[in-house]
Structure 1
Amino acid sequence: MICRNGFIEGRKSDLSHNNRTGLIFQGIPYGKGISGTKRFNLGQEVADWDNILDVKHFSPGCIYNSSSDHGPKKSNFNDLTEDCLKTNIYTSKYCLINRNCSVLFYIHSGNNLAYGPSMFNEETIVDNFANDESRIVVVTANYRLGLMGFINLNSKLNLTAPQNLGLFDLVLALKWVQKEIHIFGGDPIKVTIGGDGSGAELAHLISLSPKARGLFSKILKMSGTVDNLYKNGDEMSDRLIAIEAKCANNATNWDLVVEVENVLSCLRTKTPQIIVNSLRAVESKYNISKKGYSQDYGVNSFFEKDIETLASECTIVPLMIGTTEKESMASRTIVQRDQNNTVYIDEDNLKFYCEFSLVDMIFVNQSNAVDICIKDHSKNVNRSLSIIDDTKYFIPIITEAKYATSKGSPVYLYNFEYNQMKKDFTTDSFLSQENMPIKGSDSIYFMGNFRGDVTQKYYQIRKAYIDVFVSFINNGNASTKNNTFDVYNPKLNNYFAIDFDENATMPGMKNGYHSDSLKYYNNLLLKGGSFNLNRNETSFVRYSQLDKALHTFNDTYTIPGFVEPIPLEKRTKIALSTIAILVVLFLAVILSLWCCLTRSQKAGYKTLN
Structure 2
Amino acid sequence: MFLLTRLEIPFLFFLIFLSQKYQISSAKKIQITNGKIEGRELTATYSLYGNQTSVVFLGIPHIEPPVGKLRFRKPKTLKKKWNGVLETKEFKPACMSNSLTVWSNEMMDSRRTYFNSNGGPISEDCLYINVYTNYFCLEYKNCSVMIAVHGGQMLRGSPAAYSNEIITNNFVGQDRNIVVVTVPYRLGIFGLPNLPGKLEGIADRNLILYDVIEGLQWVKREISSFGGDSNRTTYFGHSGGATIGVMIGFLPEYDNLYQQAILMSTPLLMHSKLSNSKMFRKIAKRVGCFTSTDNQQIFDCMREISAEKLLSMQDHIFQNEEESFADFAIDEEILQDNPRRLLESGNFTKKPLLIGTVPFEQRNTRYFMGKEGKFKYDELLKMCELFGFVGAYEKPYAFVENETYEFLLDDYMFHVPAANLARHHASEHPVYLYSYKYPRVGSAYSSAPGIPNNATVLGDVPSPAHSEDFVYVMGGHRSPNFTKKDLNIEHLFTGIIANFVNFGAPSGQEWAPLNIDVMNYFDIDFVEKSDGQLTMSGMKYEFYKKQIEFWNEIVPQCGGKFSFSEDFSKSFDVFPVREFVEMKNLYYKSKFWEADKSEEVARKLGLELEIFIAERKTNKKLNFVNYVQNSINFDKVHR
Both structures adopt the same fold (TM-score exceeding 0.5): yes
Tell me what 1:470 maps to: 498
Aligned counterparts of 1:67 and 1:541: Cα–Cα separation in 2: 31
Q: Which runs of 5+ in 1 are unaligned?
A: 254-258, 378-382, 544-567, 572-609
**Which of 421, 432, 446 is the equivalent residue of 2:473?**
446
Aligned counterparts of 1:537 and 1:289: Cα–Cα separation in 2: 17
Tell me what 1:319 maps to: 353
**Which of 554, 557, 569 is the equivalent residue of 1:523?**
554
Residue type at the aligned position of 1:59 = K
Task: Give the Å deviation of 1:569.
Answer: 8.3
Aligned counterparts of 1:372 and 1:200: Cα–Cα separation in 2: 28
Residue type at the aligned position of 2:380 = L
Question: If you compute each CA radius of gyration, which structure gives the higher value, 1 or 2?
Answer: 1
Q: 1:330 to 1:248 in 2, by over 3 A?
A: farther
Task: Give the Å deviation of 1:24.
Answer: 1.1
**Which of 510, 514, 517 is the equivalent residue of 2:540?**
510
User: Contact 2:35–2:85 at 8 Å: present in 1 too?
Assistant: yes
* Deviations 1:350-396 (CA, angstroms, capped at 9, x unpaired): 122123234454444x15xx2331x344xxxxx43311121111112
Task: Give the Å deviation of 1:181.
Answer: 0.5
Residue type at the aligned position of 2:534 = A
Aligned counterparts of 2:198 and 2:338: Cα–Cα separation in 1: 15
Aligned counterparts of 1:41 and 1:246: Cα–Cα separation in 2: 21
Q: 1:533 to 1:52 in 2, by over 3 A?
A: same
- Identity across the alignment (%): 28
Tell me what 2:516 maps to: 490
Tell me what 1:166 maps to: 208
Residue type at the aligned position of 1:346 = K
Pairing of 1:153-552 with structure 2 (within 5 A): 153-154=195-196, 156-226=198-268, 228-249=270-291, 252-253=292-293, 259-297=294-332, 301-307=333-339, 308-309=341-342, 312-330=346-364, 332-337=366-371, 342-364=372-394, 366-367=395-396, 370-373=397-400, 375-377=401-403, 383-406=404-427, 408-422=428-442, 424=444, 433=455, 434-453=461-480, 454-480=482-508, 483-502=509-528, 503-521=533-551, 522-533=553-564, 536=575, 539=578
Q: 1:363 to 1:69 in 2, by over 3 A?
A: closer
Task: Give the Å deviation of 1:75.
Answer: 7.2
Aligned counterparts of 2:464 and 2:199: Cα–Cα separation in 1: 43
Q: 1:263 to 1:270 in 2, by over 3 A?
A: same
User: Contact 2:269–2:327 at 8 Å: present in 1 too?
Assistant: no
Aligned counterparts of 1:424 and 1:63: Cα–Cα separation in 2: 28
Give the length in aligned residue pairs.
Answer: 522
SS in 2 for 1:178: helix
Residue type at the aligned position of 1:463 = H
Residue type at the aligned position of 2:438 = Y
CA-atom RMSD in angstroms: 2.8
Q: 1:246 to 1:233 in 2, by over 3 A?
A: same
SS in 2 for 1:22: strand
User: Contact 2:272–2:338 at 8 Å: present in 1 too?
Assistant: no
Q: 1:221 to 1:245 in 2, by over 3 A?
A: same
Aligned counterparts of 2:536 and 2:82: Cα–Cα separation in 1: 49
Task: Give the Å deviation of 1:280.
Answer: 1.0
SS in 2 for 1:293: coil
Tell me what 1:591 maps to: none
Residue type at the aligned position of 1:48 = K
Tell me what 2:15 maps to: none
- Whether 2:135 is the aligned partner of 1:93: answer yes
Residue type at the aligned position of 1:539 = R
* Deviations 1:147-169 (CA, angstroms, capped at 9, x unpaired): 11110112554351110112111
Q: 1:67 to 1:422 in 2, by over 3 A?
A: closer
Task: Give the Å deviation of 1:330.
Answer: 3.9
**Which of 3, 14, 38 is the equivalent residue of 1:9?**
38
SS in 2 for 1:265: helix
Task: Give the Å deviation of 1:220.
Answer: 1.1
Task: Give the Å deviation of 1:64.
Answer: 1.9
User: Contact 2:392–2:577 at 8 Å: present in 1 too?
Assistant: no
Aligned counterparts of 2:268 and 2:83: Cα–Cα separation in 1: 43
Residue type at the aligned position of 1:523 = I
SS in 1 for 2:534: coil
Aligned counterparts of 1:520 and 1:49: Cα–Cα separation in 2: 58
* Deviations 1:60-97 (CA, angstroms, capped at 9, x unpaired): 11112255576254776x60111111011111221111
Aligned counterparts of 1:570 and 1:488: Cα–Cα separation in 2: 35
Q: 1:330 to 1:267 in 2, by over 3 A?
A: farther
Residue type at the aligned position of 1:60 = P
**Which of 29, 32, 38 is the equivalent residue of 2:64?**
32
Q: 1:233 to 1:159 in 2, by over 3 A?
A: farther
Tell me what 1:380 maps to: none
Aligned counterparts of 1:424 and 1:273: Cα–Cα separation in 2: 34
SS in 2 for 1:240: helix
Aligned counterparts of 1:151 and 1:220: Cα–Cα separation in 2: 28
SS in 2 for 1:143: coil
Tell me what 1:150 maps to: 192
What TM-score, normalized to structure 2?
0.76
Tell me what 1:547 maps to: none
Residue type at the aligned position of 2:499 = S
Task: Give the Å deviation of 1:494.
Answer: 1.3
User: Contact 1:223–1:393 at 8 Å: present in 2 too?
Assistant: yes
Residue type at the aligned position of 1:89 = V
SS in 1 for 2:272: coil
* Deviations 1:156-215 (CA, angstroms, capped at 9, x unpaired): 543511101121111111111111111111111111112111111011111212442311
Q: 1:525 to 1:309 in 2, by over 3 A?
A: closer
User: Contact 2:352–2:430 at 8 Å: present in 1 too?
Assistant: yes
Task: Give the Å deviation of 1:496.
Answer: 0.8
Aligned counterparts of 1:423 and 1:158: Cα–Cα separation in 2: 50
User: Contact 1:204–1:226 at 8 Å: present in 2 too?
Assistant: no
